[in-house]
Amino acid sequence: MDDAFGPAEPFTLQTAKKIGHSLIDQLGPQDVAAVGFTVDYPSAQELTGHRGRLHSAIDHFDARLVTPGHSVIRTLAELCELLGNIPERRKVIVYVGAGEPLDLRVAASMNQMMSSGLAASPVFSNQIERDKFHSLLSLFSSAQRANVSIYSLDPTGLRTDANSSATDFLRIVASATGGRVVTENNAPAQETPAILRETASYYLLGFKPENQNEDGRFRRLEVKVGRPGVEVRARQVPK
């Protein structure tokens, strides 16, 4: 839960808590979960099956002052590395927050790479853009190694500003790791049942390429299903 956005509206705080409580209420009897914050580390709850402790941690969520150097990307990458220590399981991170703003060039370059499979780094105008682009690639690589999907839920509701850079972040992170994004929604907690249903099972597919040339390009794979009403959700950025 991203609490690093300073003074926040009561609607955003309450919506974020509703998302957290809704997820915990729908966990299965064998599920374990943790509650983490990007700033208020002492109030976090480590992995447990105790629902009361998880709900109590959610109740501690509040807006905090942004710390210097705060990065949602780095926080998510560290979580993926931590979850990578749990073998042979599928893991899910539900990020509840407004996202981290992305420069338009970074977002466009990431979208192009996911759609075309180009592995070469684009040309950026400054080091900040370049670092953020490679930080995203590092996050996606960590998520794949740890078998983690990231779901992005925005608690701010319908946005009135024209700046979509943070929304781009939410969408890209979810799409690249096989999750889904919920944004521009005043009741995002209602989407949690669908999230838990689709994380209950998954398929792991593998293939052997006929072209053995290491040309530095990603191999674009497309998975189709013939069953009506079924949607394929998979990672878009490979390791």
For the segment 179-192, what is each residue's pLDDT rounded down to a tens digit? 999 999 999 999 99
Rounded Cα gap, residues 193 and 27, in angstroms: 10
Cα separation of 203 and 223, whole Å?
A: 11
Mean pLDDT over 50-62 rounds to 96
Angle between helices 165-177 and 104-116 (to 10 degrees): 30
| Model confidence, pTM | 0.85
Cβ within 8 Å of residue 149, ≥6 positions away: 90, 91, 92, 93, 143, 177, 178, 179, 199, 235
Domains parsed from the chain with CATH numbers: 10-198 (3.40.50.410)
What is residue 192's three-state secondary structure? helix
**pLDDT greater than 60 at residue 61:** yes
Report CA-CA distances (Å) from 120 to 5, 39, 106.
Answer: 34, 34, 14
DSSP class of residue 210 equals S
pLDDT of residue 104: 85
Tell whether the model's pLDDT for residue 26 goes beyond 80: yes
What pLDDT, on a 0 to 100 scale, did the predictor assign at position 90? 80
User: How far, in Å, are 2, 72, 139, 180 from residue 173 at the CA level?
Assistant: 15, 11, 9, 9
Mean predicted lDDT score pLDDT of the chain: 86
Of residues 115 and 99, more confidently modeled: 99
User: Does an H or E element contain 14, and which?
Assistant: helix 10-25
Work out the number of other CB atoms within 10 angstroms of the CB of residue 46.
Answer: 11
Give me the phi and psi of 17, to 5 degrees please: -65, -40
CA angle 107, 151, 58 (to 5 degrees): 125
Q: Is 137 a residue whose pLDDT tops 80?
A: yes
- Residue 7: what pLDDT? 62
State what percent of residues in the chain have pLDDT above 90. Answer: 45
234 or 153: which leads in pLDDT: 153
List the single range of 109-113, 167-171, 220-224 with lowest mean pLDDT.
Answer: 220-224
The whole-number pLDDT of residue 197 equals 86
Ranges of beta strands (E only) in the chain are: 33-35, 45-48, 91-96, 148-153, 181-182
CA-CA distance, 170 to 210, in Å (whole number)?
35
Cβ contacts of residue 188 below 8 Å, gap of 6+?
15, 19, 153, 154, 155, 182
Relative to beta strand 33-35, strand 45-48 is antiparallel
157-172 per-residue burial string, b: 16 or more CB within 10 A, e: under 16: beeeeeebebbbbbbb
Would you say residue 69 has pLDDT above 90? Answer: no
Burial per residue of 91-104, b for 16 or more beta-carbon CB atoms within 10 angstroms, e otherwise: bbbbbbbbbbbbbe
